Amino acid sequence: MKRLFDVLASFFGLLVASPVLLPVMFLVWRQDRHSPFYVAPRVGLDGVPFKMMKLRSMVINADKSGVDSTGANDRRITPVGHFIRRYKLDELTQLWNVLKGDMSLVGPRPNVQRETDLYTPVERRLLTVKPGITDFSSIVFSDEGDILRDQPDPDIAYNQLIRPGKSLLGLFYIEHRNLLLDIQLCWLTVVAILSRETALTRVQGVLQKLGADPSLLELAARQRPLTPRPPPGGTKVVTSRDGNPFA
């Protein structure tokens, strides 16, 4: 049933989004005469790599900088790219990956190999389901670019500030996933583009009905500043992505 929902929704989603995507694709191509797409290597179900299709929001060869996490003021983002990221248009092209079967509409967001290599044994459960275009964390951390803005090392900041909560929400989704929840999260993702505050309030309501503990509800509220925390299954805050990440 989930696969049928994914296929039908992604097919019609691409049809409905095409009047917006096609002009934006042209604008991306027009600014530097390069492909409007960025094929992003990601880790999928059971740790198998796949190629995720994204509408390109950065300059050519931006990935060769070695920086995986992106702040809102990252100089690699193009003028058109800021618009793309503001309205999450780069996520819409991932509907193609859903059609292909690499991804689901809803599931833990796929990560790069350098990040999944850091997963604790607890976090590796995130790789037991197909990655998705959206989930709880996509809404709760929809301001990821702002969180990482002006951080001296965006990748370390991501691991300290975002990864712990993102993984907890992903694991919670896996424990409670069903078709109704998927439909709710797809709708709330749209709501988040229009009103983040409304979406966060409703996410808290969904989590509460599913029996989430108070700490997860507090995280979903996003009313307190994020502070460095260990990832689920870890005991120390990540300080490096090379060698011992907790050194």
Give me the pLDDT at residue 120, please.
Answer: 96
Give me the pLDDT at residue 94, please.
Answer: 95
The pair of structure tokens assigned to 234 is 């870890």
Does residue 32 surpass a pLDDT of 70? yes
pTM (two decimals): 0.90
44-69 pLDDT, tens digit each: 999 999 999 999 988 887 777 666 77
Give domain limits for the chain.
2-221
Give me the pLDDT at residue 150, please.
Answer: 87
Does residue 247 surpass a pLDDT of 50? no
Asked if 154 contacts 72 with a C-beta cutoff of 8 angstroms, the reply is: no
Q: Which residues contact 232 (CB under 8 A, 6 or more apart)?
A: 120, 122, 123, 164, 167, 168, 171
Q: Which residues contact 87 (CB under 8 A, 6 or more apart)?
A: 193
Average pLDDT over residues 66-90: 82
Question: Quick one: pLDDT band at residue 245, thresholds 50, 70, 90?
Answer: low
Average pLDDT over residues 15-30: 93
Question: Quick one: pLDDT band at residue 72, thresholds 50, 70, 90?
Answer: confident
Tell which residue, 126, 127, 130, has the closest CA to residue 101: 130
Does residue 244 surpass a pLDDT of 60? no
What is the β-pairing status of strands 37-43 and 49-55? antiparallel
Average pLDDT over residues 3-8: 93
Does residue 70 surpass a pLDDT of 80? no
Partners of 111 in the beta sheet? 43
**Burial grade of 98 (CB within 10 A; 0-12, 13-18, 19 or more):** buried
96-153 pLDDT, tens digit each: 999 999 999 999 999 999 999 999 999 999 999 999 999 999 999 999 999 999 899 9
3-state secondary structure of 230: coil
162-215 pLDDT, tens digit each: 999 999 999 999 999 999 999 999 999 999 989 999 999 999 999 999 999 999
Question: Quick one: pLDDT band at residue 223, thresholds 50, 70, 90?
Answer: very high
Burial letters 186-211, b for 16+ CB under 10 A, else e: bebbebbeeeeeebbebbbebbeeee
